[in-house]
Structure 1
Amino acid sequence: MKFFVDTANLEEIREAADMGILDGVTTNPSLVKAEGNIDFHDHVVRICEIVGEGNDVSAEVTATDFEGMMEEAHQLAPLHENVVVKIPLIKAGIKALRALDQEGIRTNCTLCFSPTQALLAAKAGADYISPFIGRIDDISSDGMGLIEEIRQIYDNYEALDTEILAASIRHPTHVKRSALAGADVATMPFGTLTSLLDHPLTDRGLERFLEDWEAYKETRTTVSAS
């Protein structure tokens, strides 16, 4: 499974990249807004430079009509070879996905909430589909079930090579279950990424090892002094 970090914060992206396990970044208008008064295109390029060669960075269009989506896509795609244009899963978006696929521009179809939406996006040529599992859970439905259904549908048809990008991840259990369900990518906030390391037994074990090591050193010092 690939790990993407869902942020537009450069420091978080640098820290995730330094860990050596970062495969890409997803952004959206809300995340960009949180970074204050920045030039969006320049910021996307800086993100691409941090993540390095071959790691995808999703940059989202804000238009909701076909012509507007295409215009923004043609501005975003040339910024850097890592850029994947993020397109909303609406009627005009499906049309844009097909047109961009024919031009060789890579896309991430976002705001997916049903298997049939995912099937349409894949048929239109999306490189990634982004099911929002956390938001589905928020309305008392089954976000992880959606990942499982999309995986089964895509596996039924060899011609569908769209990658499943589990999005709106809220906690480590979402990551675990996405991996078990066969999602290709999990994108998550930086805090969720680092929380994958957390376990009380790891902390307790390390504390015990360090205490024993200090006791050992004291013993060795006493023996050397005698």
Structure 2
Amino acid sequence: MTVYVDSADRRDIHAAAQLGFVKGVTTNPSLMRTVTDDPLRHLKELLTGEELTEFYYQPCGAYADLREEAEAAWSLAPGRVIVKSPATPGGVALASRLAARGVPVALTAAQTPNAMIVAEATGCVAVIPYVDRAWRDPRTENELVAALARVRRGTTRIVAASVKNAGQFTRAFSDGADAVTAPLAVLRQVLDHPSALEAERDFAAEYRAERAGEGA
């Protein structure tokens, strides 16, 4: 099970790394637009840190050609960057060309089981379904992650995105996701349970009381 932070903000990425259970970063054009007008330069700056190892980058259209942007992003760190491409006819055509050149690609917005079939047919390393969007969209299966997992025949990973709360985080893994990506606020909720916090406080209080008794 792998966890990513969904953000392009350096502060969020640093804070997520400090949680101890986050492996990488997912970005998209909307997230990039909030922090930069030069996504490739920003990605290069993010990659200079060694805190998190994997980065999912979706071409933003800020330059002349999406394929060139995708290859430029991947070339910044071939062992760490996975390119995202939409599960649309144009996006799949781009994914196929990139995969043929050895670029690892994930089909994003994988909102039907057919996206998994196509991803495996084109050699994509992952599919990225939007979990919360699936629940809100009557045209999409509520059990989207499970539906993708049922038709999988190879090693294509399911990276669940659009996760809005700790319940959706848990459910995505239960339904068969290999990884979940979520905003920093959601990742902080994952272990924010009153019983665990109370137990931590109780153990600390007992230790202090014992130490005080020894010194009496």
State how many pairs are aligned: 213
Task: Deviation per CA, 1:94-148: give whole Å up to 9, x if none.
Answer: 1111111110011121112111123222212211100001111123677661111
Amino acid at match of 2:41: D
**Is 2:77 aligned against 1:77?**
no
**Is 2:42 aligned against 1:43?**
yes
Q: 1:173 aligns with which of 167, 177, 200?
A: 167
Task: Deviation per CA, 1:198-223: give whole Å up to 9, x if none.
Answer: 111112222223333343344334x3
Kindly indicate whether the alpha-carbon contact (under 8 Å) linking 2:3 and 2:179 is maintained by their aligned counterparts in 1: yes
| CA distance in structure 1 between the partners assigned to 2:23 and 2:183 by the alignment | 14
Determine what percentage of the aligned residue pairs are the same residue.
25
Kindly indicate whether the alpha-carbon contact (under 8 Å) linking 1:122 and 1:162 is maintained by their aligned counterparts in 2: yes
Amino acid at match of 1:41: L
Task: Deviation per CA, 1:37-59: give whole Å up to 9, x if none.
Answer: 45311211222232558x32111
TM-score normalised by structure 1 residue count? 0.84
| CA distance in structure 2 between the partners assigned to 1:143 and 1:213 by the alignment | 51
| Higher share of residues assigned helix | 1
The alpha-carbon distance between structure 1 residues 142 and 39, as it changes in their structure 2 partners (threshold 3 A), is closer
Kindly indicate whether the alpha-carbon contact (under 8 Å) linking 1:111 and 1:132 is maintained by their aligned counterparts in 2: yes
Amino acid at match of 2:24: G
The alpha-carbon distance between structure 1 residues 195 and 213, as it changes in their structure 2 partners (threshold 3 A), is same
Amino acid at match of 2:195: L
Aligned to 1:145: 143
Kindly indicate whether the alpha-carbon contact (under 8 Å) linking 2:126 and 2:157 is maintained by their aligned counterparts in 1: yes
The alpha-carbon distance between structure 1 residues 194 and 179, as it changes in their structure 2 partners (threshold 3 A), is same
CA radius of gyration, larger in: 1
| CA distance in structure 2 between the partners assigned to 1:71 and 1:104 by the alignment | 14
- Describe the SS at the equivalent of 1:42: helix
Kindly indicate whether the alpha-carbon contact (under 8 Å) linking 2:110 and 2:127 is maintained by their aligned counterparts in 1: yes
Kindly indicate whether the alpha-carbon contact (under 8 Å) linking 1:134 and 1:143 is maintained by their aligned counterparts in 2: no
Runs of 4+ in 1 over 4 A off after TM superposition: 140-144
| CA distance in structure 2 between the partners assigned to 1:22 and 1:144 by the alignment | 26
Unaligned runs of 5+ in 1: none
Q: What is the CA-CA distance between 1:161 and the residue it aligns to?
A: 2.5
| CA distance in structure 1 between the partners assigned to 2:140 and 2:214 by the alignment | 58
The alpha-carbon distance between structure 1 residues 210 and 23, as it changes in their structure 2 partners (threshold 3 A), is closer
The correspondence of residues 106-117 of structure 1 with structure 2, limited to 5 A, is 106-117=104-115
Kindly indicate whether the alpha-carbon contact (under 8 Å) linking 1:144 and 1:178 is maintained by their aligned counterparts in 2: no
| CA distance in structure 2 between the partners assigned to 1:136 and 1:194 by the alignment | 23
- Describe the SS at the equivalent of 1:43: helix
Unaligned runs of 5+ in 2: none
Aligned to 1:18: 18
| CA distance in structure 1 between the partners assigned to 2:205 and 2:184 by the alignment | 31
Aligned to 2:100: 102
